[in-house]
Amino acid sequence: MKTESLSYIFINAALINNFVLAAFLGICPFIGVSKKLDTAARMGGAVTFVMLVSSVCAYGVHAALVALDAPYLQLISFIVIIASAVQLVEMFIKKFSPALFQALGIYLPLITTNCAILGLALFQTAKQYDFIQSLVYAFGAGAGFALAIVIMSGLREELDLADMPNLVKGTAIVLMIAGILSISFMGFAGLGS
Amino acid sequence: MTNDNLLKTPPTDMDTFLKGLWRENPVFVQVLGMCPVLAVTNTVVNSVVMGLATTFVLFTSAVFVSTFRKVIPKQVRIASYILIIATFVTVADYVIQAVSLEVHRSLGAYLSLIVVNCVILGRAEAFSSKNTIGKSVLDALGMGVGFTFALLCLGVVREVLGNGTFAGIQVLSDSFEPWIVMILPAGAFFVLGGWLFLFNWLSERKKQRQAVLA
């Protein structure tokens, strides 16, 4: 695993194994906050930031747990670390950008229960990445999430103008589009290897 | 979402249990807990194990959350709920690892990710934190069964079409060409989207029928 180059780690996390479209992590905000391009882009930014912070924390926690020989505490300590990181980011955004705080609404605290963040912590530990590799992996995963949610929101803005039967409106059509996006992202397989 | 109309008329115990199965099905109606729904439903066995593990965590966390609902301060309630949930997910994780290493491996990180399943935290916050243990348990079991049912709906379609098998037993003849896309990630989106179409159609038809009756 140590032989993976940094650029490959980035491309792998962002495109080939896109967190949203191939690993199904972070589906809730992907469906919930992708109505407007603007909000989606900000959400992508916020998630990327939280990912970077929690990746660093998770790396430290994992090192500490290995030293303590207490692997059964891994899940509990990860989630506590992530929850505190999200709380910090929330306070930070509330202070510096109340408009963004309003726009993100309920989804900001829900980043805590965003599987993408915890998934990232678990995957980077499972893959035994070192510190720099973990950071690059977190950044790639965040970029991949932002990319997916921005593409989706762009499509949904177009969709609002389209004439659709009532039956398919809402989540159902979003999932169908996500399926097609997922197929198209499969085209990235083999890139960078 | 639909909690408002529940508050108006006190629901019976049976109703508390049954609403999770259909009317407030966590997956098809509330669209919560999507990640495991999409990620591990490529085979029937995975779907069932995931559903049962989630039900177990729902059940135990409902017991604990409703027991301690008067002790936990409001400000730290979410953090406390997550701690309770994470504890029981770790338990479930180790139990499954002990019972079947193979299933544990194929579920992978998604087993640990039950912690961040919005269904569980959502029920803790919306129901268990306000109701007695008995009611919370009924609600949790209802939601758990509803969740397992939804996972099965996806798992069956994906395994039968994608692999021609049902829980590992071949059900379609050799001449059937498997739809590979169904076991790929894209298939999960398509099948769930398809089920949602069906649910939309059913509720739409019900509405129309009620309109005719009225």
- Domain ranges (residues) in chain B: 3-213
> Token pair of A159, please?
């969709």
User: Residue B191 is inside which H or E element, if any?
Assistant: helix B185-213
Verify whether the Cβ–Cβ distance B82 to A79 is below 8 Å: yes
Question: Given phi > 0 = left and psi -120 to 50 = alpha, else beta, which region is A24?
Answer: left
pLDDT at A150 over 90: yes
Q: Is B121 on the interface with A (CB under 8 A)?
A: yes
A88-147 per-position pLDDT tens digit: 878 887 888 888 777 666 666 667 667 788 888 888 888 888 888 999 999 999 999 999
Q: In chain B, which residues have their Cβ closer than 8 Å to the Cβ of A117?
A: 116
What's the gap in Å between the CA of A182 and the closest CA on chain B? 5
For range A156-182, the mean pLDDT: 83
Verify whether the Cβ–Cβ distance B189 to A167 is below 8 Å: no
Q: In chain A, which residues have their Cβ closer than 8 Å to the Cβ of B31?
A: 31, 171
**DSSP per residue, B100-139:** -HHHHHHHTHHHHGGGG-HHHHHHIIIIITTS-HHHHHHH
User: Is beta strand B169-170 parallel, antiparallel or unpaired with respect to B165-166?
Assistant: antiparallel
Q: In chain A, which residues have their Cβ closer than 8 Å to the Cβ of B117?
A: 113, 115
**pLDDT tier for residue A19 given thresholds of 50, 70 and 90:** confident
Average pLDDT over chain A, rounded to an integer: 83
Q: In chain A, which residues have their Cβ closer than 8 Å to the Cβ of B38?
A: 24, 27
Smallest CA–CA distance from B200 into chain A, residue: A167
Mark the ranges of chain B whose per-residue pLDDT is less than 50: 1-7
Return the closest-CA partner of residue A80 out of A93, A104, A61, A66. A61
Cβ–Cβ contacts within 10 Å for residue B207, how many? 10
Q: Is B113 on the interface with A (CB under 8 A)?
A: yes
Contacts of B10 (CB under 8 A, 6+ apart): none
Task: Pick B116's closest partner by Cβ from A72, A115, A168.
Answer: A115
Q: In chain A, which residues have their Cβ closer than 8 Å to the Cβ of B79?
A: 80, 83
Q: For residue B92, what pLDDT is reported?
A: 92
A55-85 per-position pLDDT tens digit: 998 898 888 888 888 888 888 888 888 888 8
Instruction: Let me know: does A116 contact B112? Beta carbons within 8 Å.
Output: no
**DSSP per residue, A40-56:** HHHHHHHHHHHHHHHHH
What's the Cα-to-Cα distance from B32 to each of A29, B9, B138, rounded to whole Å?
11, 25, 19
Residues of A with CB under 8 A from a CB of B: 21-28, 31, 72, 75-76, 79-80, 83, 109-110, 112-115, 117-119, 122-123, 126, 166-168, 170-176, 178-180, 182-183, 186
- What three-state secondary structure class fits B166? strand
Q: In chain A, which residues have their Cβ closer than 8 Å to the Cβ of B207?
A: none
The angle at the Cα of B107, spanning A60 to B121, to the nearest 5 degrees, equals: 70
Task: Dump strand ranges (E) for chain A.
Answer: none
Instruction: Let me know: does B154 contact B37? Beta carbons within 8 Å.
Output: yes
Residues B139 and B13: their CA atoms lie apart, in Å, by 9
A32-41 per-position pLDDT tens digit: 778 888 888 8
Verify whether the Cβ–Cβ distance B196 to A175 is below 8 Å: yes
Task: Pick A113's closest partner by Cβ from B121, B189, B196.
Answer: B121
Residues A32 and A20: their CA atoms lie apart, in Å, by 13
Query: What are the residues facing B169 on neighbouring strands?
Result: B166
How far is C-alpha B204 from the geometric centre of its chain's CA atoms?
Answer: 23
User: Residue B169 is inside which H or E element, if any?
Assistant: strand B169-170
Q: In chain B, which residues have their Cβ closer than 8 Å to the Cβ of A83?
A: 78-79, 82
Instruction: Let me know: does B184 contact A156? Beta carbons within 8 Å.
Output: no
Instruction: Let me know: does A23 contact A122? Beta carbons within 8 Å.
Output: no
> Token pair of B85, please?
């949930």
CB burial string B176-201: b at 16+ within 10 A, e below:
eeebebbbbbbbbbbbbbbbbbebbe
Q: For residue B55, what pLDDT is reported?
A: 93
Residues A45 and A143: their CA atoms lie apart, in Å, by 8
**pLDDT tier for residue A154 given thresholds of 50, 70 and 90:** very high
Contacts of A142 (CB under 8 A, 6+ apart): A44, A47, A48, A49, A51, A52
Q: In chain B, which residues have their Cβ closer than 8 Å to the Cβ of A79?
A: 82-83, 86, 115-116
Helices A115-126, A74-96: inter-axial angle, 10-degree rounding? 130
What's the gap in Å between the CA of A152 and the closest CA on chain B? 14
Which candidate in A175, A176, A188 is best for mutational testing of the B interface (most B CBs within 10 A)?
A175
> Token pair of B150, please?
């939804």
Give the global pTM: 0.82
Verify whether the Cβ–Cβ distance B82 to A26 is below 8 Å: no
- What three-state secondary structure class fits A20? coil
How many alpha carbons fall within 13 Å on the CB side of residue A108? 23
Contact residues, B window 3-32, toward A, CB-based 8 Å cutoff: 31-32
